[in-house]
Amino acid sequence: MAQKFAQCANDHHDPPRIAIELMPSESQIPIHEQAEGRRFALRLAVFYGMVFGVVGTYLPFFPVWLQAIGIDPSWIGLIIAVPAVTRFTILPFITGLAERRQALRGALIVTAVLTFAGLLILGTLRLPLAVFVMFALTACVWTPTVPLTDGYALKGVARYGLNYGPLRLWGSAAFVVGALACGLLVEVVAATNLIWIIAAVAGFSAIASFGLRPLPPSEAPRAVLSRPSALLRKPGFLAIIIAAALIQGSHAAYYTFASIVWQGAGLGGMTIAGLWTLGVVAEIVVFALSPRFSLSPVLLVAIGAASAVLRWVVIAQDPPLPVLAVVQLLHGLTFGLTQVGTMGLLIRHVPGHITASAQGYLTACVGLSMSSAAIASGAIYAQHGQAVYYLMAAMAAAGAVVILAARRGLDAHEPAAS
């Protein structure tokens, strides 16, 4: 694998393809490995679907459940903020521990099962402090699940010559299905029982985790495995996670206030759901088409940033519904293309044996950016309304500057060996 990476690094005549295509092609992989790769991909796609199905049911309806059981709005704000805090505190330690023990699959099983158990216990509680404490404990094992899954996926991508995008799209598809299904169920299920729907999906996620295929341990020396923090001293890696954090963090105002603004403008619930769905469908299309992309990952991230600047500036003008619907399609670029480009860069520049730790650092950085932007957005929105999106556009533009400034080093740097 290392020789393959070096060969690709020294070939300056062909335009660099997205990093996932630096992996060996299917024809170069033995038949038995190809079959194992297909099994790996299928079971990972199912698990991705279950993991993001939990997110799809949680985001719209967990706050509704909290309100239904009588939790005060001030407590709701504190409880909802917990996952964002764990992303840049607890999460990097868990991903690092799983990496050092070369136990990503085991860590995914443990976190999925404990998340399910935590939600079951949470559903029996009613006192605000008890709900807060139990949800905080659950979030400590829940929030690492996505970066652990991405790290596990990238190892499989490197080993079996797979493409990240088609694997990840099942997560986005499940998010839509979960949100819509829960939206239908909320009409017939009491709000106080919504937690059991979220817990049920988490249960399916726990079951799916046992089907994940084991990956062979890394052959890198243990001394190397114990020092993933060395990534934080690499300017290229820092540029990748900072740029991604700025671009993805620029979605904070959208995630926080879009539905409120649309509802205030008189849009109905189905119209609002349709607008959200448009964005996620565009994201799915980008993931599905990503194996055909021929631009370098740096340019993919830069295009995602430029699209975000355009998107937020247009939304700041409070456009009519037809324009808004078109702008929502940019989510495929602002989130999806940025994600594909970021994953491509991580494959190129992070050694395969510490990809989960890299995912932990990335998620922590994005979480810090997102939570900070959300707090700032709240203050600005209260005073200036839709003008808050100009701040989001500035964040995305800063992300473009960071990644383009590092382009020469990132494009010339020899890809990481597995």
Question: Which structural domains are found in the chain, ordered by start?
Answer: 29-217 (1.20.1250.20), 228-418 (1.20.1250.20)
Predicted confidence at residue 237, as pLDDT, reads: 94
What count of Cα atoms within 13 Å lies in the side-chain half-sphere of residue 122? Answer: 29
The share of the chain scoring above pLDDT 70, in percent, equals 87
Q: CB–CB of 316/386 below 8 Å?
A: yes
Q: Is 87 helix (H, G, I), strand (E, B) or coil?
A: helix
- pLDDT reading at 32 higher than 80: no
| Mean pLDDT to the nearest integer, 375-389 | 87
Global confidence as pTM: 0.76
H runs (alpha helix) in 101-144: 104-122, 128-142
Calculate ∠ Cα 252-254-258, nearest 5°: 140
| Mean pLDDT to the nearest integer, 139-168 | 91
Judged by average pLDDT, the poorest of 30-44, 208-222, 360-374, 375-389 is 208-222
Predicted confidence at residue 19, as pLDDT, reads: 38
Q: CB–CB of 386/321 below 8 Å?
A: no
- pLDDT reading at 66 higher than 70: yes
- Phi/psi of residue 413, nearest 5 degrees: -65, 135
State the pLDDT confidence band at 201, using cuts at 50, 70 and 90: very high
Q: Is 75 helix (H, G, I), strand (E, B) or coil?
A: helix
State the pLDDT confidence band at 418, using cuts at 50, 70 and 90: very low
Calculate ∠ Cα 239-44-103, nearest 5°: 70
Average pLDDT, the chain: 85
- pLDDT reading at 323 higher than 90: yes
Two tokens, residue 178: 């979960």
| Mean pLDDT to the nearest integer, 27-44 | 79
What is the sign, positive or negative, of the torsion defined by CA atoms of 65, 70, 76, 82?
negative
Two tokens, residue 416: 């990481």
State the pLDDT confidence band at 184, using cuts at 50, 70 and 90: confident
Judged by average pLDDT, the poorest of 170-179, 221-230, 366-375 is 221-230
Judged by average pLDDT, the poorest of 17-31, 259-273, 382-396 is 17-31
Each residue of 67-101: pLDDT tens digit? Answer: 889 988 778 877 877 888 898 889 999 998 998 88
Each residue of 351-364: pLDDT tens digit? Answer: 878 888 888 899 88
- pLDDT reading at 327 higher than 90: yes
| Mean pLDDT to the nearest integer, 148-164 | 90
Predicted confidence at residue 318, as pLDDT, reads: 92
| Mean pLDDT to the nearest integer, 36-65 | 89
Each residue of 185-194: pLDDT tens digit? Answer: 777 888 899 8
- Environment class of 170 (CB within 10 Å of its CB; exposed 0-12, middle 13-18, buried 19+): buried
